[in-house]
Amino acid sequence: MTGRLLRAATAAGAQVTYALIALCCAVFLISPLSGFNRTYGTADTLLAAQAGYFERWGVIPSELWAGSAQALLTPLTALFVHGSWLHLLGNMLFLYVFGAMVEERMGRAEFTFFYLGCGYLALLAYAAAHASSDQTLVGASGAISAVLGAFLYLFPRARVTSLFPFLLFLPLRFPAWIVLIFWFVLQWMAAQGAGSGPGVAYLAHVVGFVCGFAYAWGRYGRRARVKAPATATEGESQP
């Protein structure tokens, strides 16, 4: 069944997954962060434009709880904003690898609401945990972590090819449950020592992953789990 889902997702084009990737890339390219849009100027002018861009579209926890309509929308807009090329490409790699099969299983409309809803909750949880922080939070990491959580529940025995830096980047194949649980444990451990300052929002990863897994568990039950192996490829970058 997993093989059929993978072929179906490929044949159908996994339209929502690919649309999300295209939108995130387009937003980044036209933003002052990519370096391609010369209308934002250079040097100090560019840095000021980048700071203003983050403040307008990203989540600022201390402002989110003020209750303004614009601030309450930022956990959605922040899902399409990325801080650097590495941030963007790492997230899009994970969405490309794991999103298609989850989308095929859920259907396009449900997957869209699942992605946006879990992403919103993940960023909201981070903002709640760091309510006094003035640091801006951006990126699709929370939503993509939810996709990973759903993938773990729906396709636990799918074969995932991973590159592990400590093994000289040799491509090794493991069941998805091993790779994704290992990834989750790393995020959990990192979240314990993370502060509210600049850096990776590991707590958003943890919350997103739990939301995705819980949604798939509650929505589909045990009969939805696919046992036949399939193949996916994962890079060493993390969302």
Residue ranges of E strands in the chain: 159-164, 170-175, 231-234
* Extents of the domains making up the chain: 2-234
Q: How many CB atoms lie within 10 A of CB 106?
A: 22
**Residue 163, φ and ψ in degrees, nearest 5:** -110, 115
The listed range with the strongest mean pLDDT (158-172, 193-207, 225-239) is 193-207
- More confident call, 221 vs 183: 221
Identify the residue with better confidence: 174 or 73.
Answer: 73
Percent of the chain past pLDDT 90, that is, above it, reads: 43
Nearest Cα to 213, choosing from 169, 183, 191?
183
The pLDDT of residue 223 is: 61
Give the percent of the chain with pLDDT over 70. Answer: 75
pLDDT value at residue 145:
93
What average pLDDT does range 11-15 have in this prediction? 70
Give residue-wise pLDDT tens across range 192-218: 665 545 456 788 999 999 999 999 999
Among residues 43, 128, 27, 126, the alpha carbon closest in space to that of 81 is found at 27
The count of other CB atoms within 10 Å of the CB of residue 165 is 7
Residue 70 confidence class, pLDDT cut points 50, 70, 90? confident
pLDDT in tens, 134-146: 889 999 999 999 9
Q: Which CATH superfamily is domain 2-234 in?
A: Rhomboid-like (1.20.1540.10)
